[in-house]
Amino acid sequence: MAKKTYDLLFKLLLIGDSGVGKTCILFRFSDNHFTTTFISTIGIDFKIKTVELRGKKIKLQIWDTAGQERFHTITTSYYRGAMGIMLVYDITNEKTFDDIVKWLRNIDEHANEDVEKMILGNKCDMEDKRVVSKERGEAIAREHGIRFMETSAKSNTNIERAFSELAEAILDKSAGREAEADLARIAVERRPSRARGRARRPACCS
């Protein structure tokens, strides 16, 4: 078996309307470059980047999705396995912001209940074309209890930060889960008669 080069594997997903810059954000994060010459994403794309957080090597497996409605059946099948979802809109395009609500509904329908979410208002370098104020972005995020950041893949603003904050939130949560799993195991051991049916399945499988 190949040597494990990481301690944890986090699966992340980028969603949002077409043209908001999902692919550019991911490209900036994984290759530290920016280019406007991207073809549109059809179906789903994939990148890997390993980051170090609190002394742990974390491999981020990031899925980049197509924005248009047609691709929803294919992309929603990835929601289930995702531990973190970045929901991107374009601060120079009102409709992409309005659609955030629609995307949030999608997450509710298809993703795990405890998935970590983050809203990103991208293209914040284009101040002269801004139509969605930062306050509105913050407000909608607050309303749904989600993290929020304005980013620019072009000027490399907050890209790294966004990914590490999301990863950190997942790390916090999984640490909490591990502790819970430990407690559950103790509980199972204490009540062998009731748990017998499921006792063969280890409660702490990772």
Partner 1 sequence: MSLHKARIKLFEGILEKDVIDIEQLQKLAFNGVPEEKGLRSLVWKILLHYIPTEKNSWDTTLCKKRQLYQQFIDEIIVSPGGPTDHPLNMSPDSSWSTYFKDNEVLLQIDKDVRRLCPDISFFQSATEFPCSEIVNSNGVKRLHKRVEQSVLKYSTLERRGLGVAKLSNEIRRTDISSGDYTPLNEGCEAHWEVVERMLFLYAKLNPGQGYVQGMNEIIGPIYHTFACDANMEFRKYAESDCFFCFTNLMSEIRDFFIRTLDETESGINYMMGKLSDCLKKQDKAVWDRLKKQELRPQYYSFRWLTLLLSQEFSLPDVERIWDSLFADARRFDFLIFICCAMILLVRDNILNGDFASNVKLLQNFPPMDVTLILNKALEISYT
Q: Which residues bind partner 1 (CB under 8 A)?
A: 2, 18-19, 36-40, 42-46, 48, 61, 66-74, 77, 92-93, 123, 126, 128-129, 131, 154
Cα 187 to Cα 135, 194, 206: the distances in Å are 46, 10, 18
Instruction: Please say which residue, 39 or 145, places its beta carbon nearer to partner 1.
Output: 39
Instruction: Please say which residue, 113 or 127, places its beta carbon nearer to partner 1.
Output: 127
Sequence-ordered strand ranges (E) for 33-141: 44-53, 56-65, 84-90, 116-122
Least separation in angstroms between CB 121 and partner 1: 15
Least separation in angstroms between CB 186 and partner 1: 32
Least separation in angstroms between CB 122 and partner 1: 11
- 24 class by beta-carbon count within 10 Å (0-12 exposed, 13-18 middle, 19+ buried): buried
Instruction: Please say which residue, 45 or 165, places its beta carbon nearer to partner 1.
Output: 45
CB atoms within 10 A of CB 61: 16
Least separation in angstroms between CB 147 and partner 1: 25
Instruction: Please say which residue, 79 or 141, places its beta carbon nearer to partner 1.
Output: 79
Report whether 123 contacts 150 (CB < 8 A).
no
Spatial CA neighbour of 87 closest among 60, 128, 122: 122
